[in-house]
């Protein structure tokens, strides 16, 4: 079976893990600091603050910007549950705005109608490795004095107009196993604001700067040096990984006719975390069964809009956003990861064309 994702490791990860074990510092230490430095560069930001995972990155970014009970945060319902849950954790309320049918990202033309006196922030999701329309979103945020928290969990190295994801607002990344680069589990927050960076460091470590002195209510959301060792080896391979993903994606788009292939708007650099297509005239479940029988792994990211998840219905959500409804019913993702061979790509194309 050609898997939908395939993390790539070699001696580089092993060497760094051995260094950490030999050093005796296995919790947060110098490797985390080094990863933060290299990550800040990758995201074109002044500061990067490592956290235990992408969910805690989002949670802390919201808290650091003072978002809490009574506030509203505008976001997309077409994403992994963690995006919206991080808003709920703070006591604030996610307000869902529909997506565009071509990019699957939040539709900026619909954002202003969703702004109320309670709106504090916009959280665009850079889904599948393609940035949301961040130029338009930053304009809206400036006009209405709103914070922008970029969910860049799937967008390491993505760009708009030559500027990196995570450097427009406060950026939140995931280093989960299937992401373009991984530390096993891990997260990263990027910012150019020294005050926010300081607050984030306090929040991730029980509000403590000096040992056993606790200034604010914080958490234990730290990354470990063992995870950072893996992350460091991976970040140095990210450009190569992303380039292989791009070549695979372009080959698929050149040859697939049976499905709607992804759009890459002008000025956007896509990093192909997922290669997601839509089947508009067929039975998706039957199609995925057929792919499986042909040895092609696939995934549905995401089958249910967040507002229809029980946890949200139980909180009074009754949204029905037409583009999100259509896309969740039609979308599925094909393997695009860096380990695909030419014959894997041929197998994927033949299987999809036979749907």
Ligand X SMILES: Cc1ncc(COP(=O)(O)O)c(C=O)c1O
How far is the C-alpha of 296 from the C-alpha of 28, rounded, in Å?
Answer: 39
d(CA 78, CA 80): 7
Question: Which stretch of DSSP H or E encloses residue 62?
Answer: helix 54-64
Question: What is the Cα–Cα distance from 285 to 42, expressed in whole angstroms?
Answer: 38
**Among residues 155 and 229, whose Cβ is nearest to ligand X?**
155
Minimum distance from residue 83 beta carbon to ligand X (Å): 5
Burial zone of 35 (CB within 10 Å; 0-12 exposed, 13-18 middle, 19+ buried): buried
Return the residues of window 99-138 that contact ligand X according to CB under 6 A: 125
> 226-242 burial string, b = 16+ CB within 10 Å, else e?
bbbbbbbbbbebbeebb
C-alpha angle with apex 43: 216 to 269, nearest 5 degrees?
A: 140
Gap between the Cα atoms of 186 and 192, Å rounded: 21
Which range, of 101-109, 148-156, 199-207, 341-349, touches ligand X by CB under 6 A? 148-156
- Residue among 55 and 199 whose Cβ is closer to ligand X: 55
Among 42, 82, 121, 279, binds ligand X (CB under 6 A): 82
Return the range that interacts with ligand X (CB under 6 A); candidates 48-56, 70-78, 289-297, 329-337.
48-56
| Among 54, 231, 335, 338, contact with ligand X (rule: CB under 6 A) | 54
Tell me if 320 sits within 8 A of 94, measured CB to CB: no
| Binding status of residue 174 toward ligand X by CB under 6 A | yes
Map the footprint of ligand X across residues 243-302, applying CB under 6 A.
none
Q: Tell me: does residue 151 bind ligand X (CB under 6 A).
A: yes
Range in contact with ligand X (rule: CB under 6 A) among 12-20, 27-35, 150-158, 230-238:
150-158
83 binds ligand X (CB under 6 A): yes
Secondary structure of residue 268 in the 3-state scheme: strand
Residues touching ligand X: how many (CB under 6 A)? 14
Q: With contact defined as beta carbons under 8 Å apart, do 90 and 62 qualify?
A: yes
Q: Is 18 labeled as catalytic in the residue annotation?
A: no
Q: Which of 53, 170, 199, 298 binds ligand X (CB under 6 A)?
A: 53
Q: Which residues bind ligand X (CB under 6 A)?
A: 53-55, 79-80, 82-83, 125, 151, 153-154, 174, 176, 187
Report the catalytic residues.
Answer: 179
């Amino acid at each position: 079976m050609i898997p939908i994702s395939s993390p790539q490791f070699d001696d580089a990860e092993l060497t760094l893990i051995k260094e950490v074990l030999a050093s005796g510092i296995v919790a947060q230490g110098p490797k985390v600091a080094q990863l933060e430095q290299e990550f800040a560069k990758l995201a074109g930001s002044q500061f990067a603050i490592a956290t235990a995972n992408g969910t805690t990155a989002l949670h802390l970014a919201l808290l650091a910007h003072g978002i809490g009970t009574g506030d509203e945060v505008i976001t997309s319902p077409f994403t992994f549950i963690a995006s919206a849950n991080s808003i709920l954790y703070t006591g604030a309320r996610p307000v869902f705005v529909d997506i565009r049918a071509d990019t699957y990202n939040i539709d900026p033309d619909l954002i202003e109608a969703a702004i109320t006196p309670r709106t504090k922030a916009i959280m665009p999701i850079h889904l599948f490795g393609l940035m949301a329309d961040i130029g338009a979103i930053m304009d809206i945020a400036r006009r209405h004095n709103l914070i922008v928290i970029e969910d860049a969990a799937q967008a390491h190295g993505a760009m708009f107009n030559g500027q990196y994801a995570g450097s427009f607002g406060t950026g939140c990344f995931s280093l989960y196993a299937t992401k373009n680069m991984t530390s096993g589990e891990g997260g990263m927050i990027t910012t150019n604001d020294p005050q926010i960076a300081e607050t984030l460091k306090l929040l991730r470590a029980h509000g403590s700067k000096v040992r056993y002195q606790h200034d604010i209510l914080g958490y234990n959301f730290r990354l470990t040096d063992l995870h950072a060792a893996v992350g460091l080896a991976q970040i140095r391979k990210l450009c190569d990984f992303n380039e292989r993903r791009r070549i695979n994606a372009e080959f698929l788009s050149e040859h697939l006719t049976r499905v709607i292939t992804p759009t890459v708007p002008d000025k956007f650099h896509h990093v192909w975390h997922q290669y997601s297509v839509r089947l508009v005239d067929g039975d998706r479940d039957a199609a995925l069964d057929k792919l499986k029988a042909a040895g092609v792994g696939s995934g549905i990211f995401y089958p249910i809009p967040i507002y229809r998840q029980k946890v949200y219905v139980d909180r009074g959500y009754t949204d029905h956003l037409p583009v999100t409804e259509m896309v969740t019913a039609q979308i599925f993702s094909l393997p695009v990861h860096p380990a695909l061979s030419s014959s894997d790509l041929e197998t994927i194309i033949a299987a999809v064309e036979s749907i």
